[in-house]
Each structure stands twice: as C-alpha cells, then as structure tokens.
Amino acid sequence: MSVDRNKIKYMPGMYAYKRPNAAQLAEQHIHSWVKRQLKTRPTKIERAQIEPAVCFSRKIGSGTLEIADLLAEKLNYSVADRGLLDYMAKNKKLSKQTIEFFDERYPGKLSELASMLFGEKSFIMSDYIQNFISAVYAFADMGSTIFVGRGIHLFLPRDRVLAVRVICSDNNRISRLTEILDVEEKDALKIIRRVDREQSEFFKKAHGKKEASPYEFDLVINRDFIEKPMSAAEIVATAYWEKFAEELGAKEIARVKSM
C-alpha cells in the first residue's frame, strides 16, 4: 500500500521509546500537581523561588527528548516537553488554574517578562504565550524539572537553570527522521524545514528573536560527535551537579551518581 507523504505528521520528540501523549501525561501528573500546589500558599513572596531546573533547547531531530528521558531517570526528575506544555496552555481549565497560581505566586512577573522580551512592544504577548509561561512556572515551582524545547531558559530565572543546547548536522537529522518515520530522505528534509520554520516563528513570538544564540547556554552538545544519548545525559548530569553543587549537597549528588 502506498504512503501519502503529505499526511505524515512529525512532532518533535518522536523516537523509538513510545511516550504517553500529552493528554495522558496531563491526566497522570498535571491535575494532581496543580491541585496540590494551589492548596499550598506561600506566606511570603520571598519563598517563591523555583528549584534548580534543566532546560534543553534543540535542533529538531537531534534526539534531545531521548537524552532528557535518560537524564530524568538518573536524577529522578519529571520531564516537561513541548507537547505537554502546549497542552496545558491550550486547555482552558488548566490554563485558568495555572494563570491564577502564577499571578498569586509571582505577582507582576508576567509584565516583567513581557517588558524584558519585547520592550515597548510587550502588548503583543498573546493569551497562548501567557498561558504557556504560567504552565512553565507551575511546573518549575512544583519541583526540579527537565524542560525540553521552546527556549524555556529565557523565561525562567537564569541562575536557577542549567541551559543546554543540543545540535547536529542536517544530514544526521534527516537520517534520524528517515528511520523514525520510515520515509524517504527528501520527505524527511521537507519535515525538518517545516518544523524549523515553526520553531523560528515561535521564537519570534515568544522571545522576540529569530533563533537561540550559543552564548545563552551553559553547555552545547553536538550529536555529530557525541552520538550516544546516555553519554550526552551523563555530561548534562555532571554539569548540573557542578552548577548546583552547594545547593544540592554532597549526599544528594552521591546518591544520584550511585544510581
């Protein structure tokens, strides 16, 4: 049977390991987390500080989510990827809860972020972007989280984040998508170009810039040379422990390293 290449839908994060879809993950985690967190009101604004987080920015098709999942197993953290955060931002009930939580927990933060990202044009921040930011902060406030995609390191306080950029050549991206989707190289290239364009449009809307600068990150990993996902995860884990060593404590680092 022939395959209609025009109907092939690639979503960033597809790889051999079958992850639950966004709705399933939301059902398993978000409702209970948001419900629990909304019951816990801080007595002082000073207490509203997020736990250290890892933020991955990636070239689509570089296998970053696989690295994030391996890192999550090692650190025993949760992974919040683009699909899950998009689901929260677009779900009216969840977005209402997270917006209310965000406004109370971080009063004035949304205006501050809008001004920082867009300057005098801060009014262009859409409802979706506001919902997305509130979902990010809801996750970050619930505990140490591994974020994947959407330039989240630019939303969160920089000193609370290990920002990691994962890249690889177009040839390797094409090869990977060709295998994952079982399509021809020309079709994989079309998908990459489309997703790259969508990513660029989001960066412009959400961050007021065309693309991520390498100078924004603590660490840049090139999958052309660091091919094994576990090796990349180990590198990120080591950088994370080094950056937040004092806060995490020697015992916690030793515990995680022994896993």
* In-domain check, residue 129: yes
Residue 165 resides in a domain: yes
SS3 254: helix
Residue 146 lies in a domain: yes
The verdict on residue 223 lying in a domain is yes
23 within a domain of the structure (yes/no): no
Domain range spanning residue 184?
48-238
- Residues 69-93 have a mean pLDDT of 90
d(CA 222, CA 59): 10
Residue 221 φ then ψ, to 5°: -115, 125
Q: In total, how many domains does the chain have?
A: 1
Residues 148 and 204: beta-carbon distance below 8 Å: no
At 242, the amino acid letter reads E
pLDDT in tens, 111-130: 788 777 766 555 557 888 88
DSSP of 63-127: -HHHHHHHHHHHHT-EEE-HHHHHHHHH-HHHHHHHHHHHHHHSTTHHHHHHHHHHGGGGGG--H
Whether 52 maps to a domain, the answer reads: yes
pLDDT at 109: 83
Domain-located, residue 32:
no
**What CATH number does residue 180 fall under?**
3.40.50.300
Say how far apart CA 107 and CA 112 lie, in whole Å.
10
Answer whether residue 8 is part of any domain: no
Whole-number mean pLDDT of the chain? 82
- pTM for this entry: 0.84
Segment 175-187, tens digit of pLDDT: 999 998 899 999 9
Question: Mean pLDDT across the stretch 93-118?
Answer: 79
CB atoms within 10 A of CB 84: 26
